Amino acid sequence: MILKEPFKTYLARGRFFSPSAYKKAKTPAEVWYNQAHPPKSNIPFFIFGRAAHTIMLEPELFESTITIDRKEDYPIQDFNDDGSICLKTKRNQNYRIRLEMNCQMTDKELLPNADYIHIKGMKEAFQISNQILSKTLLDPIGAMIEMSFYGKVIFSNKGIFEGFGDIPDLDYIPAKNELLVKTRPDYLKLDTYYLDIKTCKSAYPPFFATDCLNFGYDIQGAFIMDFCNFLLVATVDTFIFLAMEKKEPYLSVPFYAPARMITTGRAKYQVRLEKIFAGLDKGYLVYSENPDDLFVEIPFPRYATLDEDSIVKW
């Protein structure tokens, strides 16, 4: 099932899981909690990311979805030491309250002016440094942009990953051997490549490779490719990460994921899905992967362990 919907709606669908959203050591207790408490969409990290994605992928929607909190619009031009507007005065406080209320009523995001400057700089730097790719890489013609993909994963009787399945609607009740899943690729050029925009501290290749491991981009790329290919009945085998630095000089580098990265991510996401399914199906002790464990052994360090002779002397 494929839908065009706001990101916060996608986040709120807690019945559906994404393996890239769960750490390797995720426990059933954390899975259950996150299922009932999906991430809030109004935190600064998400707002910055969505604004960057919008200005790069759907710039025509920027003004209708984002309100910039410009400090020059405040009635009292009084500033803090860091250059931000001072909200100690009543007039500035009232202006900020009205601004936030207007965003809530119009379903828009409130973006700090400093963040807007960075995002605008990121786009301009990309266009200047990648003059050829900037015209073709994110071409909206024939592309699927910010679409939500929903479906299910099917497991064997032993809880082993077997494959994907489609669902007729969002109210679908999974069978005992099924788990509802979702993903949301930033950009898909049909029959050509998947693309995901990543804001980062550094786009230097070795540093971004570390980000890929730390943040599970290998898992995300492999899952998006396999799951979306299944739903689209496609064979797209190229995944591009557009790494964009969040601070000056706003270096942007288009990376492609090598086959070994996708193969590794595929193995990882299947294991994660199996663990999530096992935890939801059977339940197992937090911090233990054995469903039969009743207690968790204290990981008493070996360097502090004394042998019998040492204990007598001690």
Give me the pLDDT at residue 35, please.
67
Q: How confident is the model at residue 25 (pLDDT cuts 50, 70, 90)?
A: very low
Give me the pLDDT at residue 27, please.
64
Give me the pLDDT at residue 308, please.
65
Quote the percentage of the chain above a pLDDT of 70.
89
Mean pLDDT of 261-282: 87
Give me the pLDDT at residue 286, please.
60
- Closest to 108 in 3D by CA, of 72, 71, 63, 54: 63
Mean pLDDT of 112-127: 92
Give me the pLDDT at residue 42, please.
73
More confident residue, 286 or 13: 13
More confident residue, 27 or 89: 89
Q: Is residue 165 over pLDDT 80?
A: yes
Domains and CATH numbers, the chain: 2-280 (3.90.320.10)
Give me the pLDDT at residue 163, please.
97
Strands 193-200 and 239-245: parallel
Q: Is residue 201 over pLDDT 60?
A: yes
Q: Model confidence over 57-68: pLDDT tens digits?
A: 999 999 999 999
Residues contacting residue 201 through CB under 8 Å, at least 6 positions apart: 207, 245, 246, 247
Give me the pLDDT at residue 58, please.
92
Q: How confident is the model at residue 79 (pLDDT cuts 50, 70, 90)?
A: confident
Give all strands (DSSP E) within 187-260, no chain letters.
187-189, 193-200, 239-245, 252-256
Q: How confident is the model at residue 239 (pLDDT cuts 50, 70, 90)?
A: very high
- Length of the chain, please? 314
User: What rounded mean pLDDT belongs to the chain?
Assistant: 87
Give me the pLDDT at residue 206, please.
96
Distance CA 263, CA 92 (A): 54
Amino acid at the residue 249:
P
Distance CA 222, CA 259 (A): 10
| Number of C-beta neighbours around residue 12 at 10 A | 13
pTM value? Answer: 0.84
Residues contacting residue 14 through CB under 8 Å, at least 6 positions apart: 34, 35, 36, 37, 38
Based on its alpha-carbon atoms, the radius of gyration of the chain, rounded to whole angstroms, reads 23
